[in-house]
Amino acid sequence: MTTILLIGASRGIGFELASQFIADGWRVIATARSDEGLERLKALGAQTLRLDVANPASNSGLAWQLDGEKIDIAVYVAGAMDRNSASTPPTRDSFDAVMHTNVMGAMQVIPQIVPMVQETRGVIACISSIMGSQQETTSGNAALYRVSKAALNMVVRCTQAEQPDITVLAIHPGWVQTDMGGPTAPLTSEQSASSLRQTLSHVLEQRDPKHRGAFLNHDGSTLPW
């Protein structure tokens, strides 16, 4: 059975990915930091692990929890938002909350799961954002979030440079109707997850070198860095 690991799947896109991959016959391992999130994922049929990506002590135990696993696709979904513009300096608390979740967590989690993905010559995908594209930046809104996603994109590129036998990529889920995206976004969680699921499955199946270190839209098209 094909196995996917979803890091941060208690709500929004992560939860919908878990639901759709399970419905598609995949084995899903999903993480959440709260009892409520873990119970919701268990009710779907996912195998669950407790993980708080913003907490280094919690991250340090991930490899132990996954000991012996072979993972086909691992997706770092966890994310935090700050909506202040570049003209408003971030507080230390807001900077830590966003950067710890969006960047530090990925840098602590990914090295632990690389050996398990190497077993299958699989895929590691980080849920990034077009707002992290330097070329596409025409606004300073949500500046800290933009900075964190640009940094996450560099995590992807650095990881791929050291892991040529697997595929590591950043992927934009679209503007989605989640707590982060808001109710006016054009995509529902179900629509975004469906598109992401198809793209990730295609990348795994093809194992095409062109996808290594790529920045993709949810529909599989290439985005500018």
So where are the chain's domains?
A: 3-217
CA-CA distance, 86 to 9, in Å (whole number)? 30
CB 151 within 8 A of CB 225: no
pLDDT for the residue numbered 175: 79
Distance CA 170, CA 216 (A): 6
What local confidence, expressed as pLDDT, does residue 182 receive?
66
pLDDT tens for the chain, 225 residues long, are 899 999 999 999 999 999 999 999 999 999 999 999 999 999 999 999 999 999 999 999 999 999 999 999 999 999 999 889 999 999 999 999 999 999 999 999 999 999 999 999 999 999 999 999 999 999 899 999 999 999 999 999 999 999 999 999 999 998 777 666 667 767 888 999 999 999 999 999 999 999 999 999 999 999 999
Q: Specify the pairing of strand 27-32 against strand 73-76.
A: unpaired
CA 202 – CA 131 distance, rounded (Å): 24
Residue 28: its H or E element? strand 27-32
Which CATH architecture fits 3-217? Answer: 3-Layer(aba) Sandwich (3.40)
Chain-centroid distance, C-alpha 161: 19
What DSSP designation does 34 have?
Answer: S
Within a 10 A sphere around the Cβ of 222, how many other Cβ atoms? Answer: 11
Q: What pLDDT, on a 0 to 100 scale, did the predictor assign at position 189? A: 85
Task: Show the tokens assigned to 35.
Answer: 């009892």
Distance, C-alpha 16 to centroid of its chain: 13
pTM: 0.96
